[in-house]
Amino acid sequence: MRTLITNAYVLDMVGDVPNIDKKDILINDNIIEKVDKDIDKSVEVDERINAKNMLVMPGLINTHTHLAMSIFRGYKTDKKLMDWLENAIFPVEDKLKPEDIYWNSYLSCLEMIKSGTTTCNDMYFGMNKTVEAIRDTGLRAVVAWCIKDDSIKDKVEQTREYAKIYNNDENGKIKIYVSADAPHTCNPDTIKLCVDLAKELNTGLHIHLAETIDEETKIKSRYNKRSTEYLNDLEVFDVPVVLAHGIYVSDSDIEILKKIKGGISHNPISNCKLSSGICDVVKLRKNGINIGLGTDGIGSTTTMDMFEEMKTAAYLQKVNTMEPSSISAYDILKMATIEGAKVLGMENEIGTLEPGKKADMIFIKTDKLHMCPANDVCANLVYSSNGADVESVMIDGKVIMQNRKMLNLDEKQVMRQVKKIAKRLL
């Protein structure tokens, strides 16, 4: 199937400066074939999309999620991380049924699509049902069963089983990673098991790193080293990694992290809401470390809207450095697109709009009061817009949302199901 998108203002996210121009986009099945001015209108296509008054850009990439946690939106908030987890979240998680995980994940998927996210990187438990929800909603995703000291065997086998199914499918939208929960919940044997599994499956590893000062203190007291050193000594960085948070990293940690394949997922809203701290994104990027953006779970952010993450990330860095020019709107957009793709090792597939890449893109309506005038399109996107400005979404060459309406996906049904689950458990 060939699709021609016309009259679009295209922000392709290629290069170090914004390229915004009125162009057409020709798509062959799920691959971008051509991005150019005035593509021959006589070209034979199956579908034409008029993108007048739309800015078309790559779909956003959410590099750290816990999709099945949507049930915890606004639940027992205003607590520190471990207090919140141990006294609010863990007791309820123990009661989650497989169907609960499906519907909770489904809601998160729809919320992401409706706010412009086309790819996510998820870790949790019961991931077979999350994979089902991802598949049913049409998202692109990297998925991992979260392994920790007290929960190993079944997750290892499921990771192996699903990796054999999904990682050998070149045209598949789902990839399987290994996940070790965090340095303080995984002893050296557990970490080594996860590294060996990632090597065996020729895949990457997703892990929380240095999210709170308390976690760093625990690791220091146990092993007399920092979390980054602990992981490095256990050969974690021999495989591609997604490191969630990375707030408490020292100069010596940065020297280690400069050599990794993958990168860090910055989760600014979650870090603010839980008072975890501020990741020094500016310093990390200056040292050549790939930084993507993530929402974390809905419980700790209350939103899956990556536009809100972009705003918060920009504001935090400007305050943290006391320098407004320390990070630009275009830098932030890169973190939400091509740099996020690099964090996931998918930069050859997604993250920019150029020939040969997968046709993952979002259509943003720009003729709105809060987007007028367009003195700086990138600044408007980061500081003025929000997920509700995303008018249509295409993933893998297929339109999933059109004119704010989900196609073949029932929003009301998923809300009914999640409300029932919340009523039963909360």
The span from the CA of 10 to the CA of 22, in Å, is 6
Q: Which CATH number fits domain 2-58+357-406: 3.30.230.70, 2.40.420.20, 2.60.40.10, 2.30.40.10?
A: 2.30.40.10
- Which architecture does CATH list for 60-343? Alpha-Beta Barrel (3.20)
Sign of dihedral through CA atoms 168, 170, 171, 176?
A: positive
pLDDT at residue 170 in the model: 77
Domain boundaries, the chain: 2-58+357-406, 60-343
Q: Which of 173, 141, 179, 138 is nearest to 158 (CA)?
A: 179
The span from the CA of 233 to the CA of 253, in Å, is 12
**What are the phi and psi torsion angles at 347 (to 5°)?**
-65, -20
| Cβ–Cβ < 8 Å for 396, 30 | yes
pLDDT at residue 389 in the model: 98
CA of residue 198 relative to chain centroid, distance? 20
DSSP-assigned letter for residue 422: H
Taking only the tens of pLDDT, the chain with its 426 residues reads 999 999 999 999 999 999 999 999 999 999 999 999 989 878 899 999 999 999 999 999 999 999 999 999 999 999 888 899 999 999 999 999 999 999 999 999 999 999 999 999 999 999 999 999 999 999 999 999 999 998 898 999 999 999 999 998 878 999 999 999 999 999 999 999 999 999 999 999 999 999 999 999 999 999 999 999 999 999 999 999 999 999 999 999 999 999 999 999 999 999 999 999 999 999 999 999 999 999 999 999 999 999 999 999 999 999 999 999 999 999 999 999 999 999 999 999 999 999 999 999 999 999 999 999 999 999 999 999 999 999 999 999 999 999 999 999 999 999 999 999 999 999
